[in-house]
Structure 1
């Protein structure tokens, strides 16, 4: 961490000495305390609730010249108390969150290279996952065309990942050097994202190919995802929807899966109301060599399907899929804003009980409450409470006890000041 502080000090001095470009130094400290009692999956009376505080600390350095941009973000993530008060060594918790440079060939065409956030549209499939303290980042090359006048954007992204289990010179010819052993990540990825604005309407198209290392040998399986995301306004009603289809193969299974969602937001004299439904396909028979289980691999999944993260955050959902019927609204309250979300969850596939009988579709109802308020410039406070009312089907699929109280509560303070800005 000392090296990072020294580096920052040197950069600030250099920019202050020769301020021919704009340099901004900002920071973030975000502690969040959580009470978990049925978070992600059902609990029972034999398990004690969990309580902890996790903190994110970041330092952002942004540099912008007439021909290029540069960003460096340093990050430390830790649980309060996991390190002794008096210590000489600790686990490595400090690392680079973002580190990229972007060169502009023209005002509308550029290339960005380095560790960066890939976040598009409603972040359903590609998102920064900033709710998680560590976020989600990609080591990638990104070509961008962004036309302001014609409201047209085209991004082309490329990535090829490798690990360090074989020393660097060995990559030239060592046996097995090309085997990628980082679990849960792609080995290679290419995508194209196109967006066009039409007045109050917008349409995005996405095509993404991801290659995953097969565990048995050095071969790679490729999975493709195609998406269409749109929104429009019809008077006082805003309509939005998205559709994704996955094909290819992974883990020896051929893939044919989909996600489809649509919602409508109505303005009322009191508060906007959003009604929506989302269907994410599951797999009726995971043993038939075919997979119908859609996976939103790189999205901000916490923002969808309930804040208690029962679906697609970690492996808890398996191949069940989900149909999510939801109602969302937001009130101005006590100088801040109160969000109220209600979800009714059904399975996205046919599931059977241990005796071979078919389970009911309904898995449970979740209520989410989140209050947020700006306390001062650069300081915000959020507090939330969620409750899951589970059914027999949820208990059969997840275990635990549906009769036990299933809830989650949290509070978070975010300090995000701008420390220095050159003119």
Structure 2
């Protein structure tokens, strides 16, 4: 008796044989199937905001599982990635249905009109430079993706990318209804209605220079759209054993009825020593003064960046709703050591406010919010498996307690461990 399950397996086997046959016919095509399983166990006690004795620490494991299909030939590239994100134990052992756990992470095609010029369309990662403003957010298990159309020119040391997107609510069933009353309103919270951008990068023998212009449109409740512009410059330069790097971003435009006038500026120097590289730097992100009664938005927002990679791993700033209008000045020292066949990263951050903040009595708070120490150990195991172990601790001040609540004298820490498997199931190479 041939069951439905057997029929499905036969169909899968047939499609696999057919695909392999097509690949063997097209000798220039390359096809691969790869996977990823990445469970991460975390102990949070003061992660993102201060804890106190009334709050219990959290302990959980969150897992990302992915399956990647990649195809390329001389004319186009194609990628399809499925992912499943879940917390251990949230789904029963025996179940008939579950909700929203498995979905498409990436689905895009890239067509090459010439070796230098191509068009890329679909759900994709948009990530540039140090990912300060545009990043893949791959630390988060789900990552960050955009539904967009990109035009790419890449030749030698020169790259020029432009992109655009336009989003519509998924409660609009058919194009015939797009002109209905209220149908143009885009209500997906935290997302843009539309964007257009241009990114230029030039590499040099001893450095690089990138320029970014990004225009984002956000839906207002009255169905109008506000536009905010972000302009950025990222540069690096090597001077012997010293590497200098810096970035500057300025935001302008409007959000609703408020004008935007904000900035981010950072600079760092990395010195190669016989023992370990040392990086020292400072970053200023503007905030809004407590005594500023205007409706202007002066706090900078790194809207689509990989914010976990900046301003400390405990995610007190610009991850989720944390930080409000405070802004931040981050003075940091970073280094890494070779230990037991792996690498130990050590970061120290001194956080100060990026604006003038007042306490409940109207008195100005001190600038210093706290000091964070981050330690991350990474080791490559056999077969390309990577193991990570991390610990972070924040030493908060009265200012941080006044701004965030909680108890600064409590132990504010975060510990985690993660193992990543990335097998290659098949490749036509």
Regarding TM over 0.5, the answer is yes
Seen in structure 2, the aligned counterparts of structure 1 residues 185 and 206 have a Cα distance that, compared at 3 Å, is same
Residue 275 (structure 1) aligns with: 280
Q: CA deviation at 1:49?
A: 0.1
Q: Equivalents in 2 of 1:342, 1:284: separation in Å?
A: 26
**Secondary structure at 1:82 match in 2:** coil
Q: Equivalents in 2 of 1:358, 1:375: separation in Å?
A: 51
Aligned partner (choices 8, 15, 24) of residue 32 of structure 2: 24
Q: CA deviation at 1:251?
A: 3.5
Q: Equivalents in 1 of 2:119, 2:11: separation in Å?
A: 25
Aligned partner (choices 96, 110, 125) of residue 104 of structure 2: 96
Indicate if the aligned counterparts of 2:212 and 2:233 stay in contact, CA closer than 8 A.
Answer: yes
Q: CA deviation at 1:5?
A: 9.4
Indicate if the aligned counterparts of 1:15 and 1:23 stay in contact, CA closer than 8 A.
Answer: no
Seen in structure 2, the aligned counterparts of structure 1 residues 11 and 121 have a Cα distance that, compared at 3 Å, is farther
**Secondary structure at 1:270 match in 2:** coil
With normalisation by structure 1, the TM-score equals 0.97
Q: What is the number of equivalent residue pairs in this alignment?
A: 419
Residue 60 (structure 1) aligns with: 68
Determine whether 1:260 maps to 2:265: yes
Residue 18 (structure 2) aligns with: 14
Q: Equivalents in 2 of 1:42, 1:251: separation in Å?
A: 32
Q: Which stretches in structure 1 are left out of the alignment for 5+ residues?
A: none
Q: CA deviation at 1:11?
A: 5.5
Determine whether 1:343 maps to 2:343: no
Seen in structure 2, the aligned counterparts of structure 1 residues 264 and 8 have a Cα distance that, compared at 3 Å, is farther
Q: CA deviation at 1:316?
A: 1.1
**RMSD after superposition:** 1.6
Q: Equivalents in 1 of 2:174, 2:323: separation in Å?
A: 38
**Secondary structure at 1:291 match in 2:** coil
Seen in structure 2, the aligned counterparts of structure 1 residues 345 and 10 have a Cα distance that, compared at 3 Å, is farther
Q: Equivalents in 2 of 1:305, 1:172: separation in Å?
A: 42
Indicate if the aligned counterparts of 2:172 and 2:178 stay in contact, CA closer than 8 A.
Answer: no
Q: Which stretches in structure 2 are left out of the alignment for 5+ residues?
A: none
Q: CA deviation at 1:200?
A: 1.5
Q: Equivalents in 1 of 2:293, 2:166: separation in Å?
A: 31
Indicate if the aligned counterparts of 2:150 and 2:161 stay in contact, CA closer than 8 A.
Answer: yes
Determine whether 1:86 maps to 2:90: no
Q: Equivalents in 1 of 2:9, 2:102: separation in Å?
A: 12
Q: CA deviation at 1:169?
A: 4.0
Q: Equivalents in 2 of 1:350, 1:10: separation in Å?
A: 67
- Following TM superposition, the consecutive aligned residue runs of length 4 or more in structure 1 with deviations greater than 4 angstroms are 4-11
Q: Equivalents in 1 of 2:9, 2:55: separation in Å?
A: 43
**Secondary structure at 2:51 match in 1:** coil
Q: CA deviation at 1:395?
A: 0.2
1:141-193, CA deviations, whole angstroms, 9 ceiling, x for partnerless residues?
00000002xx1000000000111223224434211111001000000000000
